[in-house]
Amino acid sequence: MLGRQLVLWARALVCDQSVNGAPPPSAARISTLERVIAMKYFQVFLIFAALSIASSHERVIVSYVVDGDTIVVQRGVRTEKVRLIGIDTPESKENSKAFRDAERKGSDISVIISQGKKATSFLRGIIKKGDSVSLEFDVVERDKYGRLLAYVYLGDGRLLNELIVKSGFAYVLTIPPNVKHKSKFIEAFKYAQENKLGLWAGK
């Protein structure tokens, strides 16, 4: 709407030059001016779009890794636990979820714990205390435990959630409405299985 108004304003401005005896502008001249204004408008749109994307990411500092899909960060003056959206790694300690997972998968709980420790070790090899990462939120920002739900971006721009899955250390677990990167995770999971990476090695 704004772009159209600018073009109409430019057309009127050019046409005003025909008064006081000045020759009327040619159609080609008007068309060229319209194209220039449209291009400038598009450039402004791209700038605002880039700023919007950047503002949707929040920079935080890593405090420590809890397990394969959970980290603790320093968010301003607050310390926050962050659960990575869309993925699920095996539990690294014996708890009710570890027992449920073992029963559901028909695995010994010791296997689950071993896999969980491998996933945790992998994540600790990727990020360290003091690292700067960016958080991207989805529709729901916190879970029932009060943890932040986020997509985590490394300093080099890689999406950590996707990297963990693609390296074979996590399953895909998307819970609506937080499904922004679901397709990426599904493709990453297929890649890890097909190439027998991480937890799929030797299977």
Sign of CA dihedral 20, 23, 24, 29: negative
* Cα separation, 26 vs 142, whole angstroms: 60
Residue type, 66: V
Active site residue 83: yes
Active site residue 91: yes
User: What phi and psi values does residue 72 have, to the nearest 5 degrees?
Assistant: -115, 135
Compute the C-alpha angle 165/167/168, nearest 5°: 65
Read off the tokens for 159: 């999406």
Query: Are the CB atoms for 7 and 18 separated by under 8 Å?
Result: no
Q: Which of 100, 147, 158, 162 is catalytic?
A: 147
Helix H segments across the chain?
2-15, 27-55, 96-105, 109-126, 160-166, 182-194
139, with CB counted inside 10 A (0-12, 13-18, 19+), is exposed
Active-site residue list: 83, 91, 147
